[in-house]
Structure 1
Amino acid sequence: MDFHIGKKTLTRRSAPYLVAEIGLNHNADLEIGKRTIAKAKESGAHAVKFQTYRTEEFIDQSNPDVKFLYDIFKQYELNETKHKEFQKTALDLGLDFFSTPLCDSAVDLLCGLDVPVLKIASGDIVNLPLLNKAIQSGKPLIVSTGAALPEEVTRAISLFRKHGTETCLLHCVSMYPTPLNKVNLQSIPFYLDTTDYVVGFSDHSDGTLASSVACGLGAVVFEKHFTLDRNLEGPDHGISMDPTMFTRLAEDLKLSFEMGGAYGKNTHPEETGGWFYGRRSLYKKGNSVLSLRPALHTKDKNILDSWELERVGDPSLLPEGPIRLAPKSK
């Protein structure tokens, strides 16, 4: 099943589509947010993504155990005006703009902005009310699967299929940062084998290696946290890529995709140019038939190659040297 982001069509064989997850790294500041979007474009992103919510609609502010969480999200909450400003900045730069809704009103806000897709956070793959709201929007969904049990992923997929929802699954490990030995990239071919979805990778590991390997395993959509400066104050800057690191990621993904080549056994002209020295023709040496280099048959079609042994006949009747096809009798 193809996946659509606006006018873009992604298939399982598409080049990498790279999402700069700005998330909360705008610091609720228009200037920082706009500069971050511009740097994401310069660094090779195809899209920028934010988080959209009203804090009181998804965190119980009366519970002291999550007061710290409430305070963090409240500090970085974006109103509709800032959403519109960030969207305009992104679209003017040729970037796709979308967001992760964390409550029902966020879905309404994003639909009002006519974003091309909605992103479902890993923690909400088990949130049936929000999933139903997102499905009812009719938007394609990019769904992260971090920390989800296998049966929870299966359950969500069944829901999307029931409603005919266009879906892209992202493999994700909800550890920040994710140790490389915990990345478990075999989930990507598993999703490819068990669904007909375009599959991607929400990468929380350090560096570019995990995403590069994921590309080789068939991931198409890539999401990575992005910041102007890892030293900025805020909850996610320290686990995000700065522009230099993100540029390297974009370059490595492009190279990884090119390294994958085309499905099947494909032979380059540059390879066949070495046949003369690397392959063999048949030669008569004494009473023996030998397979020797160089492959003279690559330049003289009348000389037998080493696969044509059965055509040799009685070697005692042959002259020394390369074995040629017997001339046709007139």
Structure 2
Amino acid sequence: MLLTKKIQQYICFSESSLIDVLKKINENKARVIFVVSEHGKLLGSISDGDIRRWLTETKELDLNVLAKAVMNSNVQKLYVGVDETVVDKLFHAGIDCVPLVDEGEHLIQLAFQKKSGFFVKNREISESSPSFIIAEIGNNHQGDINLAKELVDHAVAADVDCVKFQMRNMKNLYKDSGKNDISADLGAQYTLDLLSKFQLSNDELIEVFDYAKFKGVLPLCTPWDIESLKTLENYGMAAYKVASADFTNFELLEAITNTGKPFFCSTGMSSEAEIKETVAFLRGLGANFVLLHCNSTYPTPFKDVNLKYITRLKEITGALVGYSGHERGICVPIASIALGATVIEKHLTIDTSLEGTDHKVSLLPSELKEMVKQIRQVEEGLGSDEKPREITQGELLNRENLAKSLVAVRDVNLGEIITRDMVEIKSPGQGLQPNRLNDLIGKKADRNIPRGGFFYMSDIIGRIKKRDYQFNRPFGVPVRYHDFRQILEGTNLDFVEFHLSYNDMKVDLKDHFSGVENIGFAVHSPELFANDHILDLCSDDPEYLAKSKVLLQEVVDITRNLNQFFPDTKDPVIVVNAGGWNPNGFIDEKLKAGKYQLISDALNSLDLEGVTIAIQTMPPFPWHFGGQSYHNLFVCADEIVEFCKKNPKIKICLDISHSMMSCNYYGWDLIKFVEKVAQYNVHLHIVDAKGIDGEGIEIGKGDVNFPALMTLLDKENKEVQFIPEVWQGHKNGGEGFWAALEFLESINSK
């Protein structure tokens, strides 16, 4: 059984559509979704069977029906903290997943029958959770409580999950009360000598445990004897570690199991037969444990690590597995993650030359920090072996630039049959992929294709032709100066949004416009300016910040000049990505207020007369030229509202794709997000998204519930203008935009 608080992928709101429910059921592979209120109260469940029941009973098939209309409100539930035997009874009754609620009926945890794992405090340990990283301090404190606390500080700085110590009752543990027998073997003499010198008293250890908790890291301990276990139980230790030396000590293992706490077992110095025997013993006791593959040589030669045994250890035991390492360096524990290690343990010291065998195999603080960092990167990079490969957003960007396309060798006239000698394969990859060559040959051209022009999928399956559209709000599409008239021709757009590149900043507008244009306009400020400058109005670098302000002022001036040619638009909107990105990670929450203030100060320092700044809502992981980064500002609806209240002249461009990705990442509801920011929206980018960084995909192919969204926008932002900002929608005469407008028009007409 697995108890987990990671419930986001298993829940939906009562106002979610059945389409969204089906998507989640398909993705979470649990065959069930739990329906909650906006405050997280459990209202019901929807299983495959509930959906089949609804399909057979409904008179009108509408997949946009709300979850609350389909759910089973008599869902079986238990309260958090209930004895596991009570949960097991429901499992035996045929239920695979049991919701656990608090006294207020809020859904807190889920119990899964067919998954393994457990919690140590609030930290889930399972195959689907990040690995649990233990900094083993052991006796590397040299019997000095101050050094022990210093090592805790280093472990906290490395961002480990746990600091671990050891407790022994020397009198009970060793024969002759732990006295160093001069007739004993050298190894035993050396070990007893170290222990006699470098032990902390139980009271000192407890003081260090409390210090670790104060510093925000979980303390654990290895009890080497039952008397020490009793002391740790009286303290309230959350979990335990069993040393390799005690892996076959059934008396101690049973005593630890009887505490009801989970524990980690190192398997060093044990044969496979002994491992199987111990696992069978623990299974019989109903223990929650993880097996740590381990070689108890100090240090372990790399030839003896046998890391692939992790795979076999899992196969022969069916248990969760991890790795406890005594080799030098950090490469082996990092590699163990790829083999399925759910727990990593490595020793920590401040000086590898100190007396004692553990120091020789220990990591220095900087090494531990680097190990944790690389483990988290590997975990993120592992992905999933349960889904087909998809082209990532970054690959799509590079495919546009690096791949090849089918290109016209000569002018191809409307009505001509396309033959092989008309087509060549050239870079970049902005047109039809070369593998569609045979599908293209023999088709009749339904458009004039210039020499060097790309062929598109529409040349095979037929084009979506632009026309007049009907919306109850102003609508437009993105354009560039060079394709403005081509895009505009043959349709009834209310306005266009000029997406400026840094080269467009140098353009003489009279080269493109000579008189009054009878259409509205908006401007999208460049995100990337010349010399790789990404706009950032809250940069900590004064020179970079000053340059960003100068560049945005230039955009404002260009917009005012454009307004001479588009006089129908009063105070034209300028869509701005104001800044707040970081290439290395999310910033400390405490720094956000200062960053927002920098943006406020920067905008107040500019001449914004005659324009409306609309700061775009942002995703958590935006793509810039140069790669993906982390975004910190204008991601959260509550923060956006607070900023706009303090800066009433600054408005918002609600980018649905960006905000959908934020909601996916943080577990927010998009409809609630839009409701919060609606009063500040003056411009809308309506487009779909998938996951946490699948941006601007074809509308209807992603995660956005468009019927619910458009209903809300009609209520809250009825007069606000919008564009469908589909990625690469401008190709083939704006084909992606026309497809998006057709889709949205069909939603709008329902």
Identity of aligned residues (%): 25
Amino acid at match of 2:328: D
Coordinate RMSD, CA, aligned: 2.9
Amino acid at match of 2:403: G
* Counterpart in the other structure of 2:483: none
> Which shows bigger deviation, 238-247 or 85-94?
238-247
Q: Which runs of 5+ in 2 are unaligned?
A: 1-115, 410-417, 464-750
Which of 209, 220, 233 aligns to 2:342? It is 220
- 1:172-205 CA distance string (max 9 Å, x none): 1111111222211112222333444332110111
Structure 1 segment 60-75 matched on structure 2, within 5 A: 60-61=175-176, 64-65=184-185, 66-75=188-197
* Counterpart in the other structure of 1:175: 297
Amino acid at match of 1:55: M
> Which shows bigger deviation, 65-74 or 173-182?
65-74
Distance 1:90 1:270, change over 3 A: same
Note if 1:274 corresponds to 2:398: yes
* Counterpart in the other structure of 2:134: 19
Amino acid at match of 1:309: N
Amino acid at match of 1:49: K
Q: TM-score, normalised by structure 2?
A: 0.40
- Taking the aligned partners of 2:233 and 2:298, their CA distance within structure 1 comes to 30
* Contact 1:55–1:70 (Cα < 8 Å) also in 2: no
User: CA offset at residue 314 of structure 1?
Assistant: 8.8
Structure 1 segment 96-111 matched on structure 2, within 5 A: 96-111=218-233
Aligned residues: 321
Structure 1 segment 189-268 matched on structure 2, within 5 A: 189-263=311-385, 264=387, 265-268=389-392
- Taking the aligned partners of 2:267 and 2:308, their CA distance within structure 1 comes to 14
Structure 1 segment 38-53 matched on structure 2, within 5 A: 38-53=153-168
- 1:23-62 CA distance string (max 9 Å, x none): 1112222112112212221233221111111123222236
* Counterpart in the other structure of 1:57: 172
User: CA offset at residue 310 of structure 1?
Assistant: 5.2
User: CA offset at residue 287 of structure 1?
Assistant: 6.0
- Taking the aligned partners of 1:167 and 1:242, their CA distance within structure 2 comes to 28
* Contact 1:44–1:250 (Cα < 8 Å) also in 2: yes
Which of structures 1 and 2 has the bigger CA Rg? Answer: 2
* Contact 1:25–1:226 (Cα < 8 Å) also in 2: yes
Note if 1:309 corresponds to 2:309: no
3-state DSSP class of the match of 2:175? coil
- Taking the aligned partners of 1:5 and 1:325, their CA distance within structure 2 comes to 57
- Taking the aligned partners of 2:129 and 2:219, their CA distance within structure 1 comes to 20
* Counterpart in the other structure of 2:460: 325
User: CA offset at residue 292 of structure 1?
Assistant: 2.5
Q: Which runs of 5+ in 1 are unaligned?
A: none
Q: TM-score, normalised by structure 1?
A: 0.86
Which of 271, 275, 286 aligns to 1:149? It is 271
> Which shows bigger deviation, 250-259 or 49-58?
250-259
- Taking the aligned partners of 1:172 and 1:291, their CA distance within structure 2 comes to 59
- 1:72-125 CA distance string (max 9 Å, x none): 323333332112101111000111111111111111111111111110111211
- Taking the aligned partners of 2:311 and 2:333, their CA distance within structure 1 comes to 14
Distance 1:109 1:309, change over 3 A: same
Q: Which has the higher contact order (CA 8 A, sep 6+)?
A: 1
* Contact 2:403–2:428 (Cα < 8 Å) also in 1: yes
User: CA offset at residue 304 of structure 1?
Assistant: 8.2
* Contact 1:202–1:224 (Cα < 8 Å) also in 2: yes
User: CA offset at residue 142 of structure 1?
Assistant: 0.3
* Counterpart in the other structure of 2:213: 91
> Which shows bigger deviation, 41-50 or 226-235?
226-235
Distance 1:272 1:195, change over 3 A: farther
- Taking the aligned partners of 1:14 and 1:128, their CA distance within structure 2 comes to 29
Distance 1:312 1:162, change over 3 A: same
User: CA offset at residue 232 of structure 1?
Assistant: 3.0
Distance 1:68 1:183, change over 3 A: closer
* Contact 1:40–1:48 (Cα < 8 Å) also in 2: yes
* Contact 1:125–1:143 (Cα < 8 Å) also in 2: yes
Distance 1:314 1:156, change over 3 A: same
* Counterpart in the other structure of 2:494: none
